[in-house]
């Protein structure tokens, strides 16, 4: 074999080896689900969500809901939640509105974000209004919490504070670091 033939074989072998090395170092696709596409979307809907005993946990109305198929959570645009009063509860049902909402896979936690407004009535039928930028609601436990500034208005009293812990059934609300303004009734 001539030196030209030998050089050609060496160059071909080097080219093949270089090609194989580059091929084996390419980025491999990540395994697992790559789609973040929702498995369903609801538009302009009303849904009644039941608890584990088959009783109404809450009713939800919204213009749009998307469900993540991987973690089974729901994202909601401008939701309105209606949380019914439990039998023997003090006062009426709660109506809670916000700009955005998120519901856990088990529907036992609802996170509301952006201009949250919660309205109900106490045992005497007087209105209770709570506003905040975020509110976490636990419908099965009938509780609500917040870690950001909160304003609560009842007839004759306005409370502003940082955070909130509320029992939605008894209408007991704890607001830490609170400032209270009493309004005298006209005589």
- Residue 108's pLDDT is 85
- Residue 44's pLDDT is 95
User: Which candidate, 129, 127, 117, 120, places its Cα nearest to that of 79?
Assistant: 117
- Residue 170's pLDDT is 78
**Domain ranges across the chain:** 40-182
The mean pLDDT values, 10 residues at a time, for the chain of 187 residues are 79 82 73 69 90 83 93 93 80 90 88 93 86 89 90 90 85 85 78
- Residue 183's pLDDT is 84
Q: Do 39 and 65 touch, CB atoms closer than 8 A?
A: no
At the topology level of CATH, where does 40-182 sit? lipopolysaccharide transport protein A fold (2.60.450)
76: alpha, beta or left? (left if phi > 0; alpha if psi -120 to 50): beta
- Residue 111's pLDDT is 93
- Residue 28's pLDDT is 65
DSSP string, 18-37: HHHHHHHTSPPPPPS-----
- Residue 148's pLDDT is 94
- Residue 51's pLDDT is 76
SS3 71: coil
| Whole-angstrom distance, CA of residue 141 vs CA of residue 126 | 23
- Residue 83's pLDDT is 83
- Residue 134's pLDDT is 95
- Residue 142's pLDDT is 81
């Amino acid at each position: 074999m001539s030196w030209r033939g030998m050089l050609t074989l060496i160059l071909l072998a080097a080219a093949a080896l270089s090609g194989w090395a580059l091929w084996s170092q390419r980025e491999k696709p990540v395994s697992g689900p790559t789609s973040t596409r929702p498995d369903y979307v609801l538009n302009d809907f009303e849904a009644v969500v039941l608890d584990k005993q088959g009783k109404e946990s809450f009713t939800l109305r919204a213009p749009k809901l998307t469900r993540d198929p991987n973690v089974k959570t729901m994202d909601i645009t401008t939701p309105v939640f209606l949380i019914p009063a439990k039998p023997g509860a003090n006062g009426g049902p709660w109506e809670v509105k916000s700009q955005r909402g998120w519901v856990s896979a088990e529907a036992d936690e609802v996170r509301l974000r952006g201009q949250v407004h919660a309205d109900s009535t106490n045992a005497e039928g007087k209105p209770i209004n709570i506003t905040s930028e975020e509110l976490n609601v636990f419908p099965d436990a009938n509780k609500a919490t917040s870690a950001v500034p909160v304003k609560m208005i009842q007839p004759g009293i306005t409370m502003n504070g940082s955070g909130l812990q509320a029992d939605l059934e008894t209408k007991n609300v704890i607001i830490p670091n609170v400032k209270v303004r009493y309004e005298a009734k006209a005589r």
